[in-house]
Structure 1
């Protein structure tokens, strides 16, 4: 079966900050850095590319029309707990901390974090 998502371009204001934040998060979720460009590749071939474009304007607001958040997976609850304990050191702010790990419902195990530019990522323990 072909992958469902080919790639995602993230436009950021500060490439160096985004590289640190996203690089850490994606590596924890099993993505590998592609040294040819500022991107990370999932084992299924999907990739995420980070860039600053002179065409962008305004700031990201996930509450406006567009993408609200990105959801990624990790293999275990232990890995999710490690990500939670390390996320602040890598520029991420935890959302819904008082309801961790069930902010999405009792049967849903996930960590919700927000980047320094306000991009929300939900990290879900995969099947």
Structure 2
């Protein structure tokens, strides 16, 4: 059966976990497990682990390099996306494409884009 089972997001420093923990909680994901420097967040059968590891290379994340550019999450109604976007800066996320918000992805696509200090980008899509 096709579908996404899980993703692992490796972060460089344990303090980056706070950004992610706020975001997942705000989006309604459940924290299934946590440990020093990491946590797992679940939505239905899909889960995402965010963790530090001694196996990471010693260079910063750059979403413009080959690999993952961003993660896109459903964010509820357009009003709920607006509220999340307004709260995000207080939790380690800065808006991207603010001058074109909420239609940076086109007139039929209502979404906000955020980036944290480590350079990870997420898209919050109204459904």
TM score, norm. by length of structure 1? 0.90
2:28 maps to: 30
Shift of 1:89: 0.2
- 8 Å contact 2:17–2:51 — kept in the other structure? no
Q: What is the RMSD computed on CA atoms of the aligned residues?
A: 1.4
Structure-2 residue corresponding to 1:59: 60
Once the two structures are superposed, the pairs formed by residues 1-127 of structure 1 within 5 Å of their partners are 4-16=3-15, 18-37=16-35, 38-42=39-43, 44-57=44-57, 58-126=59-127
Determine which structure has the larger strand proportion and give its number: 2
Secondary structure in structure 2 of the residue aligned to 1:35: strand
Q: How many Å apart are 1:35 and its aligned residue?
A: 3.3
Give the Cα–Cα distance (whole angstroms) in 2 for the partners of residues 26 and 12 of structure 1. Answer: 15
Give the 3-state SS of the residue equivalent to 2:28 in structure 1.
coil
Runs of 5+ unmatched residues, structure 2? none
Q: How far does residue 83 in structure 1 lie from its aligned partner after superposition?
A: 0.6
For structure 1, which runs of at least 5 residues remain unmatched after alignment? none
Q: CA deviation at 1:81?
A: 0.8
- Large movers: runs of 4+ above 6 Å: none
**Which 10-residue stretch deviates more, 96-105 or 44-53?**
44-53
